[in-house]
Amino acid sequence: MELKGLIKACVKRDRKAQKELYQRYSPMLFAVIKRYIKNDYDAEDVLIDTFMKIYENINKFKKEGSFEAWIRKIAVRESLMFLRRNKVFKLFIEADNLIIPDKINIGDELNLQDLLKVLDMLPIGYRTVFNLYVIEGYKHKEIAEQLNISINTSKSQLRLAKERMQKLIKEQNIVNTG
């Protein structure tokens, strides 16, 4: 079924359409959620919560933007809510007037699997801010609002995440072999 028809059927709460939507998008959304939540069981719970939110709000989807981007945002929000609810989100430092270099090289030669492996080794605060800023494209102001932190804390977490990643890449001797 084409996406437009699938969305219309989901708005009407058609169970077959909901199942098809789940089958089509759950692998991608699970990968997004796993960048924030390491434990598979918790990530699966968040995936279910994400789809419940999608089904409840699919009538609010504006056809102007990408449907995939819309559902990714829901997955990110649900992941962050899980982290806050379970009080596993901890930030490590508050930095005032922090100046961050424009670019910190974390290894241009890394492939996606290597990057995900290194990301998985980061403390949750670093990993969350890195994901939101680098991968999801949020601005520091948006991250600060989402996580209820200051903009400077967001910036410091990103800088520290990049520094930790560089260190892990060297320690783990991670290089792109393909």
Which pLDDT score is estimated for 174? 62
pTM for the model stands at 0.71
CB 159 within 8 A of CB 100: yes
The pLDDT score that the predictor gives to residue 120 is: 84
pLDDT for 175 equals 55
Domains and CATH numbers, the chain: 3-85 (1.10.1740.10), 89-178 (1.10.10.10)
What residue spans of the chain are helical by DSSP H? 3-11, 15-34, 40-57, 67-85, 112-121, 124-130, 140-147, 151-172
CA-to-CA distance for 39 and 178, rounded, in angstroms?
28
Q: How many CB atoms lie within 10 A of CB 77?
A: 14
Digit-by-digit pLDDT tens for the chain (178 residues) are 899 999 999 999 999 999 999 999 999 999 999 989 988 999 999 999 999 999 999 999 987 789 999 999 999 999 999 988 886 555 544 444 333 444 444 444 456 677 778 888 888 888 999 989 988 899 999 999 888 889 998 999 999 999 988 888 888 776 544 4
Which residue type occupies 42? D
pLDDT value at residue 79: 94
In the numeric block, the tokens 């796993």 are attached to 34
Residues near 128 by beta carbon (within 8 Å), at least 6 away in sequence: 36, 80, 83, 89, 147, 157
The pLDDT, as a whole number, for residue 103 is 42
